[in-house]
Amino acid sequence: MDEPFHVPQAQAYCRGDFWTWDPKITTPPGLYIMSLLLKRIFMFKCTLPMLRLTTVLALLSLPPALTHLLCFHKRTRPPASLLSPAIESLVLSTFPIAWFFGFLYYTEAPSLVFVVLTVVAASQGRHWRAALLGLISCTFRQNNVIWVMYAFASSQLVYLRFRRAVPGAAPPKKFHDPPALAAGPYDMVRSILSVPYMVADILPSSIPYMLVLAVFGGFVTWNGGIVLGDKANHVPAFHVPQIYYFIAFSTAFGWPVLISGPGGPLSLAREVQQRMFGNKTRTFITILVWIAMAATVKHLTIHHPFLLADNRHYTFYLWRRIYMFHPVVPYVSIPIYVACTWAWFLRVGREQTLLQTLLLPVFILPTLLPTPLLEPRYFLIPFILLRAQVADVPGWALALEGVWYASINAVTMGVFLYLPRGEIRFMW
């Protein structure tokens, strides 16, 4: 658990001691500053229950933020009142990783909230506000700087798609970005080739985000790296299988939404089969991808010592009893990873353009590839952003998703609270 490190550090801030720093803490002090502000406003003591109120308040603010994010992807107007969040946002706020850590003194909940608010502000064209919110998000987790740039890129794709010519001026250059499911390889080439012609149009909007990058670069230079403390145990790696784990994670949690498209799961399975084996060329490419993935599994799988030694986390048992059950398991999982990737592409791409669909995976790569430890918390923000892109979720799927999340939360929180083993409590 991280609380034994975070809580004393926060209490030091509450005492006005801003110079004491636990060298085991890897993240900036945004969480402690947030608790300090709440202490000054509400005059409470920095005990463990009151410190946990910091993350509970962040969790409570998540539905309104997600409502605006979902409305952005649905192209609908958000509710006028913050007290009227969408039902879908309430369901998504109970996502098990966010829900579980929202009741502990961890950085996950406030980090997620500020990232979502950054994306929302950027989508509304409020780029200075987005940059400020993004900078605040980086005080909770440093790699949120990647999501700041994602917010900018996502907003500019929408701007370039829907912009209109200024009266009396020449029509703007056309940006090639066709519907995702109708696009082919040639469309990807054309989209990439059209990007340089758009740089001048998006340059003014990029200034606030470039300033965030400059601040981040200054921090990295001053700190001698991204991680603040415990650098020996947090060395960046090239962990390609981490992407495969995220795909499996997203499918395991998001399957109610994944199968909810027109035609249901059978139609989705047929579409995936067509994408993978629809003709000889696709079959050949699929086999090549399998071979390449097998090579990465063999040479780039990381057996992190924390994962192998800490039996308080579910990933310990998942790794030992499933993934390492037999040497063949990591390899027979490869076709499943590929099928799940296609399933998400087909589901997300139903309502989006090609670049909108591929943009998030591009930013997920630098977020997850350097992380050597299999840790579900690392998947939280990527999953929420991915799930929010599914714009046409029917009511029955939303209900099923809510029941699925509630069931997982009941089990994991029940195990944590009522089934301790001595001083050990089991958690994500």
DSSP 323: I
Q: What pLDDT, in 10s, does the model give residues 45-56?
A: 899 999 999 999
The pair of structure tokens assigned to 12 is 């030091």
Phi, psi (degrees; rounded to nearest 5) at 266: -65, -40
* Range in 172-176, 214-218, 221-225 the model is least confident about: 172-176
Residue 413 corresponds to which tokens in the numbers above?
Answer: 């929180």
Length in residues, the chain: 428
CB 22 within 8 A of CB 7: no
Number of other residues whose CB lies within 10 A of the CB of residue 279:
8
Own/partner pairs for 328-335, CB < 8 Å, 24+ apart? 330/241, 330/297, 330/301, 331/294, 331/297, 333/244, 333/248, 334/244, 334/290, 334/293, 334/294, 334/297, 335/290
Please write the tens of the pLDDT for every residue from 285-339. Answer: 999 999 999 999 999 999 988 888 778 889 999 999 999 899 999 999 999 999 9
pLDDT tens, residue by residue, 247-291: 999 999 999 999 999 999 999 999 999 999 999 999 999 999 999
Mean predicted lDDT score pLDDT of the chain: 92
> What's 180's DSSP letter?
G
Say what the pTM is.
Answer: 0.95
Instruction: Let me know if 183 is exposed, middle or buried by CB neighbors in 10 A (0-12, 13-18, 19+).
Output: buried
C-beta of residue 245 within 8 angstroms of C-beta of residue 374: yes
